[in-house]
Amino acid sequence: MLEFKNVTKQYRSGMFGTHLTKAVDDVSFCVGENERLGLLGESGCGKSTIAQLAMKLLKPSKGSIEYNGKNIKHMSRSEMKNYRKNVQIIFQNPQQVFNPRMKFRETISEPVRIYNLASSPEEEKKIISEHMEMFGLPEELFDRYPQEISGGQAQRIAIMRILMLKPEIIIADEPTTMLDVSVQAQILELLKEVMDKNNITLIFVSHDLDVVRAMCKRIMVIKDGQVVEQGSVDDIFDRPENEYTRMLVDSLKE
Amino acid sequence: MKKGIKSRFFSRRRSLFTIGIICSVIIAFFTIIGPFIWNADPTATDYANQCLPPSGEHWFGTDNNGRDVFTRVISGAHLSIGVALAVVGIGAAIGITVGIVAGFAGGAVDTILMRIVEIMLSFPGIIFALAVLGTLGNGTEHQIIALAAVRWAHYARLVRIETISVMNSEYLPASRAIGNSKLRIVFRYILPNIIGRVIVIATLSIGPVILAGASLSYLGLGAQIPSPEWGLMINGGKEYIRQAPWITVAPGIAAVFTAFSFNLLGEGIGDLIDPRLKEKAEVD
């Protein structure tokens, strides 16, 4: 469904922009229906850049990103809208990703309005309150601003908001890193449940081996923007071939 | 957690805001209703009563032409404040538009717009205003255009920086990822997050603009003698400052008081509009 073909993203740096830094270097991979792919790597390795490239928040310097065989770079406005409806992202810091000047009432209704999911205000209300209930979110949150709720609640809202779109692929970019340990497990459990129930493909970006193992079936290990090893969870954990992967796995086993 | 209404109202910042509101209401009262109550002709001369000190009859005394200073301050208010409000309003409208376009579009558009802004800012403001007035001719409308032509660049630069800081926030990519249109991002994401600062800066600049307008009037551009413009009055009375300081002091205090009130008002509005600022305010 979603395919990266030799994608490279480089930044110019230095005084005259002569120095090129490769954040993502010749990365190729493909995710199919109902797949669970983990992108594993330490911070700064380029895994978040991959997530942003997939969301077209950044443009690749080389290579192409294709959705059902169509390059997202060449998509028309309506195709892009369809793409965004089907490929969604959960960000790392739930308390920073919502407009601090917008109450949740409006923030939550955004996807419903943008994608015309409801034909009337009553239907919109119904869709939203159904989802709120499903996610155990009280309706009093409607009148709150993002800075007035907890990180766990904010992340629940973030997941709920994109779930209303019924996407095919969800990219989770370190969705639990900024949360309290006690909340992390809840959010992961919720995410897993949601994925299974709706047959959603998950691309899970994390530096946490344990979490990736719990969430994913296939793992890509990334270092310095390059894919150093990929394979099934068992292969990576039991028979790591790459030295860097072995080091990561060993550090966990200790 | 929840503080009583009383302590909220009397917290230091809020009480300053309250003072700002009260002062602004007083100013609005004198500016709008004042001329109907004290409706003597502000330009009527009375050479028998030159340079009289403040008294029950002449609250702020009389000037070198025997005109009542209080009447002149009151009837001049709408001119001085009106010009300043118009200048700030027009300047802010242009500045916000240019600043958001530059910050949002980035790249070549940003570079071109910001070079223009820098050129504008590199002129001494008053010289540029003089050049504009020299081209357009005298008059209050032209004085507004001249001052706004200088002011907008200041706002544009501020708005651009604020816009870029919103662009670099985490919620902006998130808003794009969910599929918001550019127009909606500008009006529902960028504008609400920068408007607090802009209003504060705009209100804070009303005082200096009043003084800039007065400077132009002094140079014979803008308001003309004998109209009771504050700057014109200050400059007209400066030769008598030893014998009759009230001629200059009264309009001077009026201008400073106005600037002070708008400052308090501006900061208070900024707190109200921006919940992040409000949170900080409640901490101290």
**With an 8 Å Cβ cutoff, are B275 and A162 in contact?**
no
Average pLDDT over residues A129-153: 91
**Strand A201-206 and strand A169-173: pairing?**
parallel
* Inter-chain touch A57–B176, beta carbons under 8 Å: yes
Let me know if residue B49 belongs to a domain.
no
Say if A252 is an interface residue toward chain B (CB within 8 Å). Answer: no
Return the SS3 of B142.
helix
Task: Output the pTM of the full model.
Answer: 0.81
Q: In this predicted structure, what is the pLDDT of residue B25?
A: 87
CB contact under 8 A, A84 and B178: yes
Can you say whether the dihedral through the CA atoms of B89, B91, B92, B94 is positive or negative? positive
Q: Does the residue B31 lie in any domain? A: no
Q: Give CA–CA dist A20/A34, Å, rounded.
A: 37
Q: Does A253 have pLDDT greater than 80?
A: no
Highest mean pLDDT, choosing among A219-233, A235-249, B247-261: A219-233
Q: Say if residue B2's pLDDT is above 70.
A: no
The C-alpha torsion from B208 through B211 and B213 to B218, rounded to 10°, is -160
How does residue B238 score in pLDDT terms, banded at 50, 70 and 90?
Answer: confident
What's the CA gap between B257 and A122, in Å, rounded? 52
Q: Label residue A34 exposed, middle or buried (CB < 10 Å: 0-12, 13-18, 19+).
A: middle
Q: What is the SS3 assignment for B62? A: strand
Query: How far out from the chain centre does Cα A87 lie?
Result: 9
- Count CB atoms within 10 A of the CB of residue B213: 32
The rounded distance, in Å, linking the Cα atoms of B204 and B262 is 7
In tens, the pLDDT along A53-88 reads 999 999 999 999 999 999 999 999 999 999 999 999
pLDDT digits (tens, 9 = 90+) for B25-49: 888 888 887 777 777 777 777 777 7
Q: CB-based contact (8 Å) between A12 and chain B?
A: no
| Range with the largest mean pLDDT of A55-69, B19-33, B52-66, B205-219 | A55-69
The yes-or-no verdict on residue A126 having pLDDT over 60 is yes
Given a contact cutoff of 8 angstroms between Cβ atoms, the answer to whether B77 and B27 are in contact is yes
The Cα-based distances of B175 to A73, A173, B170, B180 in angstroms read 19, 16, 9, 6
pLDDT at B283 over 50: no
Residues of A in Cβ contact (< 8 Å) with B275 = 100-101, 145, 147
Query: Of the candidates B180, B196, B202, which has an alpha carbon nearest to the alpha carbon of residue B94?
Result: B202
- Weakest mean pLDDT among A81-85, A230-234, B93-97, B233-237: B233-237
pLDDT: is B21 or B42 the higher one?
B21
The pLDDT confidence band at residue B279, using thresholds 50, 70 and 90, is very low
CA distance B65 to B51: 8
C-alpha A175/C-alpha A194 separation (Å) is 14
State the nearest Cα–Cα gap between A86 and chain B, in angstroms.
10
**What ipTM was reported for this prediction?**
0.88
pLDDT tier at B1, thresholds 50, 70, 90: very low
Query: Which of A79, A81, A91, A101 is the mutation pick for testing B, counting most B CBs within 10 A?
Result: A101
CA trace torsion A26, A178, A190, A146 (10° rounding) = -110
What is the token pair recorded at A219?
């793992």
- Average pLDDT estimate for A221-229: 90
A99 in reach of chain B (CB within 8 A): yes
Report the pLDDT value the prediction gives residue A54, as an integer from 0 to 100.
Answer: 93
pLDDT in tens, B95-122: 999 999 999 998 899 999 999 999 988 8
Is residue B9 assigned to a domain?
no
In a domain, B171, yes or no: yes
Radius of gyration over every alpha carbon of chain A, rounded to an integer in angstroms = 19
Are A110 and B178 a contacting pair at CB < 8 A? yes
Q: Stretch B1-30: mean pLDDT, rounded?
A: 70
Are residues A179 and A151 in contact, defined by beta-carbon separation less than 8 angstroms? yes
Count of A-B CB contacts under 8 Å: 62
CATH code for position B140: 1.10.3720.10
In a domain, B52, yes or no: no
Using the beta-carbon criterion (under 8 Å), do A99 and B171 form an inter-chain contact?
Answer: yes
Chain A CB contacts of B279 below 8 Å: 147
Record: contact A89-B275, CB cut-off 8 A: no
- Least confident piece of the model among A75-89, A157-171, B198-212: B198-212
Query: Please, what is the Cα angle at B170 between B169 and B174, to 5 degrees?
Result: 125
Calculate how close chain B gets to A97, using CA atoms only, in Å: 4
Longest dimension (CA), chain B: 77
Please compute the mean of the pLDDT values over residues B62-80 and round it to a whole number. 80
Calpha distance B258→B42 (Å, rounded): 20
Tokens of A247: 């080091």
In a domain, residue B59? The reply is no
Residue B143 pLDDT greater than 80, yes or no? yes
Higher pLDDT, A162 or B37: A162
User: Is the pLDDT confidence value at B191 over 80?
Assistant: yes
8 Å CB contact between A171 and A38:
no
CB contact under 8 A, A161 and B176: no
Chain B residue with CA closest to A99: the answer is: B171
Q: Is position B29 within any domain?
A: no
Distance from CA of A8 to the nearest CA of B (A): 20
- Check: CB of residue B64 under 8 Å from CB of residue B51: yes
Number of domains observed in the structure of chain B: 1
Q: What is the mean pLDDT of chain B?
A: 81
- For chain B, the first-to-last Cα distance in angstroms comes to 14
What percent of chain A shows pLDDT beyond 70?
99
Work out the average pLDDT over B133-138.
Answer: 84
Nearest CA in chain B to A90: B174
- pLDDT > 90: what percent of chain B? 26
Pairwise CA distance, residues A173 & A97, whole Å: 12
Residue B124, in any domain of the structure = yes
In chain A the domains, ranked by start, together with CATH numbers, are: 2-253 (3.40.50.300)
In this structure, the number of other CB atoms found within 10 A of the CB of residue B55 comes to 10
CB of A114 within 8 Å of a chain B CB? The answer is: yes
Q: Residue B141 corresponds to which tokens in the numbers above? A: 């409308």
Question: ∠ CA(B216), CA(B218), CA(B222), 5° rounding?
Answer: 45
- The answer to whether the CB atoms of A96 and B170 lie below 8 A apart is yes
Residues 128-147 of A with CB under 8 A from B: 145, 147
Query: Residue A99 and residue B192: Cβ atoms within 8 Å?
Result: yes
B174/A98 Cβ within 8 A: yes
List the domain range (segments joined by +) for residue B221.
79-283
Considering only CB atoms, A145 lies closest to which of B179, B181, B275, namely B275
